[in-house]
Amino acid sequence: MFCLVFFVIAGCQKPKWFDQFEDDKGHLRQTRTFSAEAALKWMDLQLRILRTNPTPVGGLGPGRYFGYCGIACYEAVVPGMPEYRTLAGQLNAMPSMPNTVSGTAYHWGASANTALAAMNRYFFSGTSDANKAAMDSLENALDSVYSRQVSPTTFQRSVEFGKAVAQAVIGWAGTDGATATHPVYVPPVGPGLWVPTPPAFAPATAPYWGANRLMVPGSLNNSTPVPPPAYSTDPSSDFYKMVKEVYDVSQTLTPEQTAIGLYYRDFPGYGGGHYLSILDQVLVQEHSMLDIAALAYAKAGIACVEAGIGCWQIKYQYNIERPITYITTVLQHPAWIPLFATPVFPEYTSGHSTVGGSFTTVMTSLFGEHYHFTNHAYDYLGMAPRSFNSFKDLANEISASRVFAGIHYRISCERGQKAGEQIGQNINNKLKFKK
């Protein structure tokens, strides 16, 4: 009878970890014990916004949002990760982050939720009313759950900390040069240099993006590709052969090559947010907790930011013309068109290949070299999913897709991917997350 009474009483008692929520004293409950729900749901909503925004956001913008949102998420929960350190003092001009109150409890899910809500409202201030309402709804729904798991004092402390982190990161993001005012860009003129391409013949996009502040000091070290072949119309020249390969490939595309080319068009789709979609899917596959989700969100996002800046420096250094210009004039195939409209900026090197190389190198450092996953990013468009046995395989396919699509030369893709991989490796080597 004594044993029965003992177990009944014990069964009615609250588990010890609950006291760490309810009381404001004692050991902090670590971030690794929290679900990644807040991070994943905000990733999902950001992807929804990217594909439904009234004006397409483009490729570079989402990569930048990815980077800063990842950093804010990480900084909002890293005090609950004893083996990890803040990125302040490591990233260029990043301010000191707010401090937690020593010896008091935090709900790290609530901190991440508040930080990501503020970041998304900042970056998507011009989105539709429906998307703005969705942001409010998500924040409130998560807060409703989290507020019932802790004391009011702990919940409010967690919310205020997440808000303070977001404010600091937003202030820092505003000084990176992405929104700076520049003179109207006048492209150089001459044989082999970039000119607006059909069908829109639009002016060059983001000509000053390469001047943005890098996040990681030295992230572009040893990543500069060798110059492209010298322009020539001689059929025996490397330049002529380089362009003719694109035309020849376009004449013999298999259904699989066509599918690959179209899969990374990303419009309609997520633009540069395609990488965020892949990260989201991997985290779900891994059943990652909040600590790993925040770490991966920050590191992969930073890789995309740095690769975008590095690639745009090269693009506007060389200003090489796109395949469609040479094929329709020099090769005299005036009716030739690629699988989809050529992006409106110079050719060399490939942005997709560079960012893909950097992103996949960082993902390999996080999840391993032989990692099997299937990309379902564009199931909603009716596209067949793409499966891979490594992130390197993903990088190779991204690079090949631009040649299949007819919008890049092979060397632009291969050298861009190599540059991106070096950028990713520099980030792996230089940025210290663990103490």
DSSP assignments along 103-125, one per residue? T----HHHHHHHHHHHHHHHHTT
Each residue's pLDDT expressed in tens, for the chain with a length of 435 residues: 333 332 333 333 333 334 444 445 434 799 999 999 999 999 999 999 999 886 666 789 999 999 999 999 999 999 999 999 999 999 999 999 999 999 999 999 999 999 999 999 999 999 999 999 999 999 999 999 999 999 999 999 999 999 999 999 999 999 999 999 999 999 999 999 999 999 999 999 999 999 999 999 999 999 999 999 999 999 999 999 999 999 999 999 999 999 999 999 999 999 999 999 999 999 999 999 999 999 999 999 999 999 999 999 999 999 999 999 999 999 999 999 999 999 999 999 999 999 999 999 999 999 999 999 999 999 999 999 999 999 999 999 999 999 999 999 999 999 999 999 999 999 999 999 999
Please give the pLDDT value at position 101. Answer: 94
pTM of the complete model beyond 0.85: yes
- Residue 77 CA to residue 75 CA, distance in Å, equals 5
- Residue 159 CA to residue 107 CA, distance in Å, equals 8
φ, ψ at 34 (rounded to 5°): -100, 145
126 by Cβ neighbours in 10 Å (0-12 / 13-18 / 19+) ranks as exposed
Q: How far is CA 238 from CA 108, 245, 386, 417, in A?
A: 56, 11, 33, 20
What are 434's strand-pairing partners? 84
Range list of H helices, 16-97: 16-22, 37-52, 60-77
Delineate the domains of the chain, giving CATH numbers in brackets.
16-173 (1.20.144.10), 209-430 (1.10.606.20)
Please give the pLDDT value at position 19. Answer: 40
pLDDT digits (tens, 9 = 90+) for 230-265: 999 999 999 999 999 999 999 999 999 999 999 999
Q: Are 271 and 57 in contact (CB under 8 A)?
A: yes
pLDDT digits (tens, 9 = 90+) for 48-67: 999 988 666 678 999 999 99
Please give the pLDDT value at position 59. Answer: 82
108 by Cβ neighbours in 10 Å (0-12 / 13-18 / 19+) ranks as buried
Please give the pLDDT value at position 56. Answer: 63
With a CB cutoff of 8 Å and minimum separation 6, the contacts of 309 are 209, 210, 212, 214, 220
